[in-house]
A and B are shown apart, each in its own frame.
Chain A
């Protein structure tokens, strides 16, 4: 065997090994979480998801407050962000595709996506918190300032770039002959958007929203700083709470024994939920772009 052959073989081996390492890495992440949370899984089982109390001193752990907290913050943030992100998608994908204003808009959205989450948290503490507090005074509830609404507002700002950029991409994929056919029949732009573009791009837009949801569920720092760190079941959108991610961030460093194991159980659930959401979103996008490329050719 010549030295070239040997290098050749080593090279392909290295490539394959590094690819396998990626798979092993992910499997190891999953298994580590499962093993680390085993004590908690054994003790609490599926009741973990329905238990309302999270009490480290009594060693009683139920994750329902965090599940509710995560659902409320992420869906509220989606609700707030969807009108904005769809508007941006339509504006950049249909109304103004080229020129200085769209370029400016696109780079602004990129900047928005690039700002670190801890800075969103800091800004939220000094800008959104007083704002929400005055709202709470207006509604006559306890003026915490921090809580689900504050976190959802900041999350909404953070996820707009994701759904907006994917939405824009799928809207530009809409075949122009379809749009032109509608225009030639006398449709207005609004009618074209409502009856042609949105239905055609629907699944892609939904995929973008799913990916944004995945991000909102897993987002940690900004939420940890703004949600008020309360382990009780939230009673309204103003109440302080904890999400799955924020309770880990708040308590993991000091946790030992079954508390740590329960937190890792929460981490395992978080991992699986974001995994499902992300795979679904990516799968839909792939399908949409394959269909679009088929139609062009």
Chain B
């Protein structure tokens, strides 16, 4: 064995350098993507781009204001639908802990989390678009809301599980009813964790395009009616990217820059909340 020590050490060194090399190579795409978005995106962005409506091809100028408004509306619709349900289901899971129903719900959350976004798009189409016979912001919001649910449920459950039992016992011992204990003691204690979950889920859906293809559809005009088709940033990027016009490609990069900044911003804020107001006892 002794004569082989050199060989073994060399093997060890080679392996370590190979791993390190592969790690840094895998960072390359990220750098390239961020570089491309910044290089092609920033030059397009100006006040007009943020506040004007899209113009037909051939006409210079225009912007993506309707897509920004649409994305905000979609986020609001999906949040209104998914946050209350997500939090109550999360409380249920953290309170009951064991039991048949609990395990089934947990399994459902796993399956829902893994369901491809395009399938959720089909569902929202069948449930909402087909009956009212129009693409609508509402159907898009519901599709995105279904995608938010599993993230909110999971983070709520995991956060509330961290809160020590003594806190609950102390409150109950003082004669506070159970529901008030949950609402006024347990929930506030885990608020930052729940907030983090909500922000992460919003970040997840802000960039989703697939469920919007045949629900919110897209709309080159401004629209505030939730029963009518509405534009969104990711849809606009898709639409412009697949077009043959270089002017529109430039717009796609500009919209991508905004979208990446927004999505990463949500992630950053979520992380900041998680670090600053950590749930700890």
Contact = CB atoms under 8 A, between A and B. Distances in A.
Q: Bound pair: A and B?
A: yes
Interface of A: 4, 7-8, 10-12, 14-16, 18-23, 25-26, 29, 32-33, 36, 83-85, 87-88, 90-91, 95, 105, 108, 110-112, 114-123, 125-127, 157, 160, 188-191, 193, 211, 214-215, 217-221, 224-225, 245, 248-249, 252-253, 263-264, 267, 270-271, 274-275, 277-279, 282
Contacts, number: 234
A119 B260 contact: yes
B30 A33 contact: no
B159 to A, nearest CB: 16
A58 B153 CA distance: 46
Given A8-B179, A25-B112, A91 B30 contact: no
B41 to A, nearest CB: 10
A147 to B, nearest CB: 16
Given A127-B36, A190-B11, A122 B122 contact: no
B237 A114 contact: no
Interface string B166-185: 00000000000111001000
B123 A115 contact: no
Contacts of A12: 178-179
A202 B162 CA distance: 29
Q: How large is the interface on B (under 10, 10 to 19, 20 to 34, 35 or more residues)?
A: 35 or more
B2 to A, nearest CB: 11
B27 A218 contact: no
Given A8-B178, A188-B11, A15 B207 contact: no
Given A88-B26, A267-B118, A271-B119, A16 B177 contact: no
Contacts of B111: 26, 275, 278-279
Nearest to A17: B88
A123 B33 contact: yes
B208 A116 contact: yes
B21 to A, nearest CB: 8
Nearest 8 A/B pairs, CB to CB: A116-B207, A218-B116, A278-B114, A11-B179, A87-B22, A18-B88, A220-B210, A188-B12
Contact of A220 (B30, B117, B178, B256): B117
A214 B114 contact: yes
Given A115-B260, A123-B33, A126-B249, 4 more contacts: A110-B267, A190-B11, A248-B121, A253-B213
A22 B25 contact: no
B113 interface: yes
Nearest to A125: B241
Interface in B35-58: 36-37
Nearest to B203: A114
5 contacts: A26-B111, A29-B119, A33-B122, A127-B36, A278-B111
A275 B115 contact: yes
A221 B32 CA distance: 19
B146 A118 contact: no
Contact of B110 (A7, A15, A278): A278
B208 A21 contact: no
A33 B111 CA distance: 15
B267 to A, nearest CB: 5
Nearest to A107: B271
Contact of A18 (B92, B182, B207): B92
Nearest to A122: B241
A122 B125 CA distance: 26
Contacts of B177: 4, 7-8
Contacts of A264: 122, 126
Interface centre among B115, B237, B253, B264 (most CB of A within 10 A): B115
B238 A118 contact: yes
B149 interface: yes
A248 B118 contact: yes
B277 interface: no
Contacts of B23: 84, 87-88, 91, 105
B114 A190 contact: no
A10 B123 CA distance: 31
B263 A278 contact: no
A21 B259 CA distance: 32
B36 A114 contact: no
A119 B166 CA distance: 47
Contacts of B245: none
A218 B108 CA distance: 17
Contacts of B127: 32
Interface stretch (B60-68, B72-80, B99-107): B99-107
Nearest to B85: A18
Contacts of A253: 213-214, 217
Given A188-B9, A189-B16, A118 B214 contact: no
